[in-house]
Amino acid sequence: MTTTNLKLVLVIDDEENMRHMLSYLLKSEGYAVEVAANGQAGLELLENSAIDFVLCDIRMPKMDGVAFLKAVAKVKHSAVIIMMSAYGTVDTAIEALKQGAYDFISKPFKNDEIILTLKKAEERERLRKENILLKKRLAGLEKKAGFGGIISKSKVMDAVLLLADKVAQHSTTVLITGESGTGKELIARGIHERSPRAIKPFLAVNCGSIPENLLESELFGHVRGAFTGADQDRKGLFEEADNGTLFLDEIGELPLSMQVKLLRVLQEQEIRRLGATASRKVDVRIIAATARNLAKEVQEGSFREDLFYRLNVVNIHLPPLRERLSDIPLLSEYFIDKFSASMNRSDVEGLAPKALQGLLVYSWPGNIRELENVLERAILLTEERLIQPENLPEMLVGRKEGEHPLSLLLDISSIKKGREIIDQWLIERAMVATAGNKSRAAELLEISYPFLLSKLKQYGGESSEIKEDEM
């Protein structure tokens, strides 16, 4: 029987009978064993062998157990050391643990006691190594993420991140727009982290999640007695974020009455606590975000025009995931690494081709947040190395075979034909996403306008004539 994959235990004891007994016991339990008659001989073995565990007596000639522990501290090794003694006292045990021993066993001991102690040590080492691996993987994930933790390689996002990086250096008010789940708060955090205010607080509040009667107190604070239950003065988010950044998410949900008060803060850089008679100066950068069309709401009278212009000094628009198709494989890899690490599922390596196809043809109304949830669920469900279509929600894989052009890729071997299928499918999606505007479709596809026209003509889509409204 080979011992290549067996755990190796080093037994250090000056009594030959004890060495022989422990060797027999450990080998019968599936361990490989080395023996030494004193600490010096044990130290030499530890330096030259891949020892997993050490069972070491305390009273020995030449080098006793305590001296061995002190010497081991200067040697590079990964062994777990368990001390043994027939003269054990509480003080002896404490001293051994202080010197780096994992456990202490008093002689005479039962065989089960030795084996149980080794099994516990083995489990401890397994958990320790998994923890180290998890930390390394999470550190790697952080390095993969770019500005504010944004994962992207698409040109449309490159332009977004370049603008965000530029605006970060100044205290300009920023309005971030885009559908729900596109990463607006990540952009806001990235702007704060790249700004001179980075060491100061970044506070976020969802304007639609706080009842209107509590929102003023939440933002501006209150003084004692301002309302029933206000038994002491309290700072609001503006004061807590002083010299930092306040992120007002879902700003379109802000009631009209609060829009007036927010406008005053932006104009005067001062707030007044609820119930107070005097104002306080604050230095807060405002970053707002919304999934709504605020310009339209201004026209309809549900959002103040003057506040809109105050907020919309710099507008950063985040494209939906359906316009970032090249980012789906990259984002999927990131989320699979993230959740396989946090769930201790290192056996999950990625997506099966058909599963990736399901992700690529889906419209993602919930955007990146929805993709993240789908992949978290998939890792919980999968029992294979690669995530399969059956691990994905039915809405992603419920289409019949052949219903989408991409499904044909699994049945062809021609690279030329495959490229034509993908090109046609991407152009169709871009034309739908831009409501037939060829100029915008060309930008979305990151190709030239004439090239798009030639492709449309090739696929029998539309005339290659250029419409005036697209010039």
Confidence of residue 461 (pLDDT cuts 50, 70, 90): low
Say if CB 271 and CB 236 are below 8 A apart.
yes
Rounded Cα–Cα distance for residues 262 and 253 (Å): 13
Alpha helix segments (H runs only) across 383-435? 394-397, 415-433
Rounded Cα–Cα distance for residues 181 and 289 (Å): 12
Share above pLDDT 70 across residues of the chain, in percent, rounded to a whole number: 87
Question: Who wins on pLDDT, 215 or 135?
Answer: 215
Say if CB 219 and CB 205 are below 8 A apart.
yes
Domains belonging to the chain, first-starting first, are 8-135 (3.40.50.2300), 147-318 (3.40.50.300), 322-398 (1.10.8.60), 415-470 (1.10.10.60)
Extended strands (E) in 212-360: 221-222, 234-235, 245-249, 270-271, 280-281, 285-290, 314-317, 350-351
Say what the pTM is. 0.59
- Other CB atoms within a 10 A radius of the CB of residue 418 amount to 14
Extended strands (E) in 223-272: 234-235, 245-249, 270-271
Phi, psi of 37 (to 5 degrees): -90, -10
**What pLDDT digit, counting tens, does each position of 148-181 carry?**
778 888 888 889 999 999 999 999 999 999 999 9
Say if CB 66 and CB 96 are below 8 A apart.
yes
Rounded Cα–Cα distance for residues 464 and 128 (Å): 64
**What pLDDT digit, counting tens, does each position of 253-275 carry?**
999 989 999 999 999 999 999 88
Rounded Cα–Cα distance for residues 344 and 26 (Å): 30
- Note the pLDDT of residue 6: 80
Share above pLDDT 90 across residues of the chain, in percent, rounded to a whole number: 33
- Other CB atoms within a 10 A radius of the CB of residue 46 amount to 25
349-374 burial string, b = 16+ CB within 10 Å, else e? eebbebbbbbbbbbebebbbebbbeb
